Amino acid sequence: MTEDWQHPYVERIVSEARRPVDLDPAARDRLMSLVRMEPAPRRSTRFSRLSRANRVRDLFRVRSLVLSPAAGMAFAAGLVGLGVFAGALYSHRDGRFTAAGQPPVVAVSNPQLPVSDTVVQFIVMAPRANAVSLVGDFNGWNAAATPMRPTSRAGVWSVTLPLAEGRHLYAYIVNGSQWMADPGAPIASDDGFGHKNSVILVRPGAVL
């Protein structure tokens, strides 16, 4: 069996193609001079080689990102830190969300204060107290929410705050731990936790 390339015609073509070509030296010089006259091509970049459509397609091409486990965990830790930082920056301690740096609203001049609110002054005598605070259903029983201030009279503590119309339970916390009902107000029934609370009824423009 004879191979195709061993065909006599093929051999003839091959031999013809391999025949040395006599090149005029002057022709070579002319060719090189023309090449030198051409401006130097700009350095090609990845994007310049691509057409516009290919560029866009290249942006959406799926690529696989390979990371070592250590690098992946470092990346994850960074993202978690970013999330925690963002959460702390954009949320208040009471859970309300607002932009950072927003100035606080002064309650006294707040035009959105409900008209049904009545400003109530609480006064209690606690001569040996270092600190007294007011807790009640109006501040979530938070001892840090409504601290009382000593008045000019020795041992007398006071605080003023607006209360909505209705019935409120409250108590005083003396020196951060001692729960005390208001001796000048009606007592509520046992609160179920072993403490006594006081009752205040707020009516428009008056308290009972």
Partner 1 sequence: MSSRFARSWIPVACAALLALVATAPRAAAQDTDPLAKLDATSRFAVEAIMDSARVDGLPVAALRSKALEGVAVHADDRRIVSVVHGLFSSMREARSVLGPVNDPDLEAAAEVLSAGVKPEALTSFRDAPRGRPLASAFTVLVDLVTRGVPRDDATSAIVKLWRSGARDADFYGLWNSVKSDILEGLNPGAALQNRVREFPGRAPGNTLTPPTGQPESPSS
Residues at the site binding partner 1, with contacts judged by CB under 8 A = 64-69, 71-73, 75-76, 79-80, 82-84, 86-88, 90-95, 97, 118-124, 135, 137, 140-143, 166-167, 169, 179, 182-196, 198-201, 203-208
Instruction: Give 156's contacts (C-beta < 8 A, 6+ positions apart).
Output: 123, 124, 125, 150
- Read off φ and ψ for residue 160, nearest 5 degrees: -125, 135
Q: Between 39 and 140, whose beta carbon lies closer to partner 1?
A: 140
* Minimum CB–partner distance for residue 67 and partner 1 (Å): 5
Query: CA-to-CA distance for 207 and 161, rounded, in angstroms?
Result: 13
C-beta atoms surrounding 37 within 10 Å: 7
Count CA within 13 A, CB hemisphere, residue 40: 2
Measured from the CB atom, the residue of 123 and 131 that comes closer to partner 1 is: 123
CB of 74 to partner 1, least distance (A): 11
CB of 207 to partner 1, least distance (A): 6
- Rounded CA-CA distance 118/22 in Å is 114
Q: How far is the CB of 188 from partner 1 (least distance, A)?
A: 6
User: By C-beta, is 21 or 108 nearer to partner 1?
Assistant: 108
Measured in residues, the chain has a length of 208
Smaller CB separation from partner 1, 8 or 69: 69
Contact at 8 Å (CB) between 178 and 167?
Answer: no
Looking at beta carbons only, is 155 or 183 nearer to partner 1? 183
How far apart are CB 136 and partner 1 at their closest, in Å? 8
